[in-house]
Amino acid sequence: MTSPTFPCTQCGLCCRNVHLAGQTQHLDRGDGACRHYSDADKRCLVYESRPDICRVDRQYRMHYAQQFTWKTFVELNVEVCKLLQRQEHR
């Protein structure tokens, strides 16, 4: 049975806040945003070949499948998305 895909809204907030997580800080271009994120286009410039850390399903399989169900993992990630959205609208 295939797991449902992650419900990404493509808002770009995770890409604009890579400085907040230790796993993504190496992608910071110096202003907190990912070096692959285009402010002008509001999209990832390397989406098809993006790093593993940017692939929710791959991160789950590689690092979290033994700790969480896919549903719980998605719920946790959605909570982070909501937190970033609240921060953005302050």
CB 53 within 8 A of CB 63: no
The confidence score (pLDDT) of residue 2 equals: 55
**Contact 28/35 with Cβ under 8 angstroms?**
yes
The pLDDT score that the predictor gives to residue 53 is: 94
Residue 1: both structure tokens together? 């049975």
- The reply to whether 61 falls in a domain is yes
Is the Cα torsion angle 47, 48, 53, 54 positive or negative in sign?
positive
Domain presence at residue 1? no
Residue 42 domain flag: yes
If you ran DSSP here, which 8-state letter would residue 10 be given?
Answer: -
Residue 1: what pLDDT?
A: 46
The pLDDT value recorded for residue 88 is 87
How far is residue 61's CA from residue 65's CA, in Å, rounded to a whole number?
5
φ, ψ of residue 34 in degrees (nearest 5): -70, 140
pLDDT value at residue 48: 94
Residue 19 belongs to domain spanning: 15-88
Whether residue 36 is contained in a domain is answered as yes
Q: Count structural domains, the chain.
A: 1
Residue 6 lies in a domain: no
Per-residue pLDDT of the chain (90 residues; tens, 9 = 90+): 456 788 888 889 999 999 999 999 999 999 999 999 999 999 999 999 999 999 999 999 999 999 999 999 999 999 999 999 999 888
